[in-house]
Amino acid sequence: MEKILGLKSGGKTTLGDTVMIFSQVNVSQNIENIPDQAALFIPSAAAVKNAIKAEAESRAEAIAAEAEIRQSADGALQESVGAKVDKISGKGLSSNDFTSAEKSKLAGLESSHFRGEFLSLAALQAIAGSAGDYAYVDMGGGADVTAYVWDATDSAWVEQKGVTTAETPASVKGKYETNPDTNAFTDADKGKLDGVEANANNYTHPSETARASGLYKITVNALGHVTAVTAVAKADITALGIPGSDTDTTYGAATTSAAGLMSAEDKAKLDDMEANAGNIIFKVGEVYINV
């Protein structure tokens, strides 16, 4: 009889690992000796207890490890579910949803008919087009870009008439300056402005002390600005020959040799005289003389 012990991972031997294999039993062996030899293969109670305990611990560890793995997986799943975007019928998962209106607008575009830009008309004519196709020819060297469309009837590229050429700085400037409503800043205005020195118009009018009405002597500079103000004194007046105090003046009656005032008597005589009282008229022939 042979005794075979199998070892599991972790180096622990369980009760199930003890296997007895009977092989090549000596037929001559006394049957009565079998129980004694079999006792060698029956584990003790302590060995059975240890094996059961080891099995229980191994299973507990496996269950704990499996629970930890499941908990981790559940956490990852919950995180993924929490971050998911609910699907809406007719919508994708992008926030930039492509609407029916945008679909219609895109369908109406003719960008698919644009055949590109060519360096010469010959290069464009080397390809065939289809109805609705168009292209540009730019020969460079300051030449304007010309638009061509495919004439399906004649199977040829034809220049698109009535197309405005690209604006240049010179053309924009000319249109701007000739428009009467723009109040344009012209080259002449720029030249005039360039001729003005910096801060030439930075003028500050000089200030002067406010004064009440009165008689003052003032000093004025060449720019017409008052630079000094002084109140007029009596000495300034007398310096002009005006008496410094009131002076009584006595005038006598007028005489034939000296000017003077009219006397009361002369005034009375004058008042008593009638108009033309002193006129004497002489008649000489048919002529009247007024003396």
Instruction: Give the residue extent of every domain in the chain.
Output: 2-63, 109-166
5 pLDDT more than 90: no
Q: What is the pLDDT of residues 210-258, one digit of tens each?
A: 888 888 898 999 888 888 899 988 888 888 888 777 666 777 888 888 8
- Residue 110 is predicted with a pLDDT of 58
The values of phi and psi at residue 186, to 5°, are -90, 175
Q: How far is CA 260 from CA 99, 122, 253, in A?
A: 119, 120, 5
**Of 229, 223, 219, 218, which is closest to residue 205 (Cα–Cα)?**
223
Q: How far apart are CA 278 and CA 274, in angstroms?
A: 8
Residue 28 or 89, more confident: 89
Question: Contact at 8 Å (CB) between 140 and 167?
Answer: no
* Per-chain mean pLDDT for the chain: 75
Q: What is the pLDDT of residues 137-155, one digit of tens each?
A: 988 877 888 999 999 899 9
Both tokens of residue 164? 């405005």
Q: How far apart are CA 22 and CA 121, in angstroms?
A: 104
Residue 137 or 163, more confident: 137
- Residue 29 is predicted with a pLDDT of 47
Q: How far is CA 57 from CA 62, 80, 85, 135, 149, in A?
A: 9, 34, 44, 83, 87
pTM here is 0.24
> Which amino acid is residue 187, in one-letter code?
D
DSSP E strands in the chain: the ranges are: 2-5, 18-21, 114-118, 134-137, 146-151, 156-159, 216-220, 226-231, 281-284, 287-290
Across 244-271, b (16+ Cβ under 10 Å) vs e yields eeeeeeeeeeeeeeeeeeeeeeeeeeee
CA end-to-end span of the chain, whole Å? 202
Q: How far apart are CA 105 and CA 236, in angstroms?
A: 96
Q: How far apart are CA 19 and CA 37, in angstroms?
A: 15
